Structure 1
Amino acid sequence: MMPSHRFAAFAFAALLSTFAGAAGVSAQTSASTTQPASFTLDNGLQVVVIPDHRTPVVTQMIWYKVGSADETPGKSGLAHFLEHLMFKGTEKHPAGEFSQTVLKIGGNENAFTSYDYTGYFQRVPRDQLPRMMEFEADRMTGLILKDENVLPERDVVLEEFNMRVANNPDARLTEQIMAALYLNHPYGRPVIGWRQEIEKLDREDALAFYKRFYAPNNATLVIAGDVEAKDVRPLVEKYYAAIPAQPAIPAKRIRPQEPTPAAPRTVTLSDPRVEQTSVRRYYLVPSSTTAASGESPALDVLAQLMGTGSNSYLYRALVIDRPLAVSAGAGYQGTSLDPTQFQISVSPKPGVEFADVEKAIDEVIADLATNPVRAEDLERVKTQLIAEAVYAQDNQATMARWYGGALTSGLSIEDIRSWPDRIRAVTAEQVREAAAKWLDKKRSVTGYLIKDTTTASKREEKRS
């Protein structure tokens, strides 16, 4: 049976890679009042230490610069599969010992896979950090896999696929939209993989992927909590410095890139289990790593203006001013190694036509692309974004996630810390330019989620 933390692991990845209905704070929004310390070992392991002395706990989080977008074609789901298998033990620490130790000392652990990275973390009492480092360093190179535990875990992943995707019409729509948005880039493959390819993954596939990508020079270690860099560095050197680098790993990841979008695309998913229809539109836009100067913060502000809260332009246009929808939102996932998505999601009221919803969406975009946003609205949303970044510093695990996600996606510590300043500098004209340039329908895929009444009717007939 799959441990509960394995389900949570993929759920976290899903939060990073799919739209949750409103603009969230991107991974680069943090601006810690304490300057994080950073150093790199001779074997290439980058280490970031984020002091937080409010509680005597510490989070160790190791990020590998490999995700589902780095998989060999035909092996989709391999990064996520290996994430599961990393809990199968080493010669020094048999399966279950690591997790049981974390539980016994009152800590918690988890793991997650996304398009650009795979991560593992433990949050434990401060004095247990050396023990956690010893465990994590051991499984960086010491993983032992046998068919008797690999094949059952593949079945666990397949069951996870059934729960998270196959039996979830909303997730299946996301899968189909992403596949249509990315014609050439591997972001078009779902993180969990395509079922027919997951079914063929085996021990040799997992071990080859592990040996290829899991190495100190392909990892970032983030330590956040009641520690200081001067105390952490000797521990890191003790447990991680002896691990050899993998020289075959390139300094920069090279992936197939998207051609310039030439035409809008649509996807319709019909399912008898749908209770709430929806319209979702994804635009292909630059990430914080690929954008020109000022573009990514402008997209952050644009998403906040359009789709966060009851004062957002989409919500007012579709829910308040006209009775077209029960909810409306927008989001921008800026933390991505390659071009990412700007997402709009609307849940229409019963009986409302999709065409009417799309017309209202297009009117909001057209107005933003033509007229500079009002000064009071601009200041309001910039204040909201910066405030969220400040409030989030109260969670050391969140800080570790933000730094790890950003650093493994091509950003620097300075990029992370200066994000609020870049938000403050966004002008109304930059927001208008972002809407006009990037929210072009040629760059979009629109997805429709509808109820399959034909199938539902047939089922009712069989019951009667």
Structure 2
Amino acid sequence: MAPQPLTVNQARVNRRRNTRSKSLLTWLGLSLFSLFSLGCFSTPAHATTLTKTVAGTHVATLPNGLNLIVKEDPRAPTVVHMVWYKAGSIDETNGTTGVAHVLEHMMFKGTRTIKPGEFSKRVAAMGGRENAFTSTDFTAYFQQVHKRYLPQVMALEADRMHNLVLSEKEFAQEIKVVMEERRWRTDDKPKSQLFETLMATAFTASPYHAPIVGWMSDLEAMTVADARRWYQDWYAPNNATVIVVGDVRAAEVLALAQQTYGRWPRKALPPRKPQQEPAQLGLRRVQVHGPAETPYLLMAWKVPVLRDIEQDNDVYALSVLSAILDGYEGARLTANLVRNDKIALNAGASYDSTARGPALFYLDGSPAPGKTVADLEQALRAQITQIAQQGIREEELQRVKAQLIAARVYKQDSNMGQAMEIMQLEMTGIPHTASDRLLEKIRAVTPAQVQAVARNYFIDAHLTIGELVPEPIDPANPSKTRAKSRPNFRH
């Protein structure tokens, strides 16, 4: 399967590892920390109004520009609190790649009111859990706690939105942690190296060509001033959305948001450049040599990304195509290439239609013993060609749609799942109120539409191919066995 170099959404192909069908199918005792430890709060003079959007969900925009989304779910006395900043690696510039992820680490290193590491200790003392993740499109921080502790975690998170201390000493230590994270997740994993190289080959103008963790030379040259500039530029209430899901009342959450996040002034955000990817003019190929037991093939076609819910119908058909190929246990790639024809040891498909930047549709796998990468490439191409020429069976389509509906129902059982579904849409420009409409559009996809996208988009002019050429594994070389024991990367 495709590599997973970082955390949530950091390499779009890696989403297949956790749920087989991606894109819209996926979307689809102690005082601890009293509010007054941050100072006396006062509600802003300008009233903020809650608006009900869909069942149990309310939204508001504070006077300082912060967006608030509250979804009431009283089934358990718990709550998920998240703050999402619309700033990811897509907003970085050459020479400072990785700075979004570095700043994510630094957010746990203390503020003007709490010591380094104290944030995590206090959440742990509440019996909660917390962490953060950086992607191409955003950076997010979350806590899961009993509902009684919501005021405390909101105060903690609001504190570091404005009061973060970025010291030379803490930065010097943490940048080494990030560099080791890069070594462990990418440099010592040939599949991750291949994915990184393929992205740098597939994209030229788009910032998606750079890894989220950053190029090692940029990390080595990075300074605390770079991290401080990123924080000052992008960590502002008017570039953030706070979402709270759980056993809460929206009006009470709004009052807490006004008392915590509402204290900070809005900022003038840097202008965002278009950085449009130019048209690809021909097939691109790249090889990576590395210690591995088997070869590995990764194919990526440029395809549409969702921008207009009503007009961009091809993205729904591409989502269904991904699921037809690799969305359930008996999907075509596993059934045909692994079980029946025994061409591949494994084979998969992945497509994410929601992104701030361009989209890719991936096919990948490793050839079976006695087969070559060329054999696998031909077989993967043949699966697309067969659908382009012969279409799909109605029962295949109905199976995918049934699984989509089931996955959507299961996701509603989790506060975190509900929050992630809402925010992954919001951060890529799709309103969360469109969730049901997106489901309707998927359910309306016809076999003819799936056949059409298979015929129209899977051409060599849109294709980049990456191949991992295995080299002998040297057990005496520690640098090649690092991945056997995972370092303790806290965030």
TM-score w.r.t. structure 1 length? 0.91
Aligned to 2:43: none
Helix, strand or coil at the partner of 1:236: helix
Call closer, same or farther: CA 1:10–1:279 in 2, change over 3 Å: closer
Structure 2: how far apart are the matches of 1:89 and 1:270? 42
| Equivalent pair of 1:218/1:249 in contact (CA under 8 Å) | no
Helix, strand or coil at the partner of 2:299: strand
1:423 aligns with 2:442: yes
Structure 2: how far apart are the matches of 1:215 and 1:230? 23
1:284 aligns with 2:302: yes
Structure 2: how far apart are the matches of 1:87 and 1:28? 33
Q: 1:107 aligns with which of 121, 125, 128?
A: 128
1:74 aligns with 2:88: no
Call closer, same or farther: CA 1:9–1:122 in 2, change over 3 Å: farther
Helix, strand or coil at the partner of 1:199: helix
Helix, strand or coil at the partner of 1:42: coil
Structure 2: how far apart are the matches of 1:108 and 1:10? 19
Q: Which amino acid aligns with 2:8?
A: F
Call closer, same or farther: CA 1:50–1:25 in 2, change over 3 Å: farther
1:201 aligns with 2:197: no
Q: C-alpha offsets along residues 219-256 of structure 1, whole Å, 9 cap, x if unaligned?
A: 11111111121221111111111211112345xx4331
Q: 2:108 aligns with which of 68, 75, 87?
A: 87
| Equivalent pair of 2:298/2:365 in contact (CA under 8 Å) | yes
Paired residues for 1:320-359 under 5 Å: 320-359=339-378
| Equivalent pair of 1:111/1:120 in contact (CA under 8 Å) | yes
Q: Which amino acid aligns with 1:176?
A: T
Structure 2: how far apart are the matches of 1:60 and 1:283? 36
| Equivalent pair of 2:123/2:129 in contact (CA under 8 Å) | yes
Structure 1: how far apart are the matches of 2:27 and 2:331? 23
| Equivalent pair of 2:187/2:193 in contact (CA under 8 Å) | yes
Aligned to 1:49: 70
Alpha-carbon distance, 1:126 to partner: 0.2
Call closer, same or farther: CA 1:15–1:56 in 2, change over 3 Å: farther
| Equivalent pair of 1:224/1:400 in contact (CA under 8 Å) | yes
Alpha-carbon distance, 1:315 to partner: 1.9
Alpha-carbon distance, 1:321 to partner: 2.6
| Equivalent pair of 1:30/1:419 in contact (CA under 8 Å) | no
Q: Which amino acid aligns with 2:323?
A: Q
Alpha-carbon distance, 1:376 to partner: 1.3
Q: Which amino acid aligns with 1:444?
A: L
1:362 aligns with 2:359: no
Structure 1: how far apart are the matches of 2:197 and 2:173? 28
Call closer, same or farther: CA 1:17–1:74 in 2, change over 3 Å: farther
Alpha-carbon distance, 1:386 to partner: 2.1
Call closer, same or farther: CA 1:399–1:44 in 2, change over 3 Å: same
Paired residues for 1:235-250 under 5 Å: 235-250=256-271
Helix, strand or coil at the partner of 1:394: coil
Q: Which amino acid aligns with 2:259?
A: K
Helix, strand or coil at the partner of 2:221: coil
Q: C-alpha offsets along residues 354-386 of structure 1, whole Å, 9 cap, x if unaligned?
A: 221111111111121223321111111111122
Helix, strand or coil at the partner of 1:143: coil
Q: C-alpha offsets along residues 159-217 of structure 1, whole Å, 9 cap, x if unaligned?
A: 00111001111111110111111121000100000000111111110111110011011
Call closer, same or farther: CA 1:51–1:9 in 2, change over 3 Å: farther
Structure 1: how far apart are the matches of 2:296 and 2:361? 17
Structure 2: how far apart are the matches of 1:27 and 1:101? 36
Q: 2:464 aligns with which of 433, 439, 445?
A: 445
- How many residues get paired? 448
Helix, strand or coil at the partner of 2:112: coil
Alpha-carbon distance, 1:405 to partner: 1.9
Alpha-carbon distance, 1:265 to partner: 1.1
TM-score w.r.t. structure 2 length? 0.86
Identity of aligned residues (%): 35
Alpha-carbon distance, 1:310 to partner: 3.6
- Please give the root-mean-square deviation of Cα atoms over the aligned residues, in Å: 2.2
1:149 aligns with 2:190: no
1:20 aligns with 2:16: yes
Helix, strand or coil at the partner of 1:20: helix
Bigger mean CA deviation after superposition, 111-120 or 68-77: 68-77
Q: C-alpha offsets along residues 121-180 of structure 1, whole Å, 9 cap, x if unaligned?
A: 011110111111111111111111111111110001000011100111111111011111
Helix, strand or coil at the partner of 1:336: coil
Helix, strand or coil at the partner of 2:282: coil
